[in-house]
Amino acid sequence: MRIFYQLLVVLFVILQGAAGKPYIPRPIDLCEAQNGHCFPGICRRPYYWIGTCHNGFSCCRRYVEV
């Protein structure tokens, strides 16, 4: 039974490669994880700066008023 599960894992890896999709997921974009957007230059209203994106742009988030 143990070898059955190993064969399933190997089949899954082969199918991932055949579909052209990477087996290892891409790293998490920290800007998107904080509900931000990447903009060139500085953040303008109604956005505020929360960090820097992977490409050097500003990571901006929209103001939320309660």
Q: Whose structure tokens read 């089949």? A: 11
What is the structure's pLDDT at 18?
A: 56
What is the structure's pLDDT at 11?
A: 79
pTM of the model: 0.54
Domains and their CATH numbers in the chain: 2-62 (3.10.360.10)
What is the structure's pLDDT at 2?
A: 78
DSSP assignment letter at 46 = T
Nearest by Cα to 40 from 56, 25, 51: 56
What is the structure's pLDDT at 9?
A: 83
- How many residues does this entry show for the chain? 66
Q: What is the pLDDT along the chain (66 residues), one digit of tens a residue?
A: 778 888 888 877 777 765 565 556 666 778 888 889 999 999 999 999 999 998 889 999 999 877
What is the structure's pLDDT at 38?
A: 93
Following DSSP, what letter does each residue of 12-44 receive, concatenated? HHHHHHHTT--SSPPPP-HHHHTT-EEESSS--
Please tell me whether residue 11 adopts helix, strand or coil conformation. Answer: helix
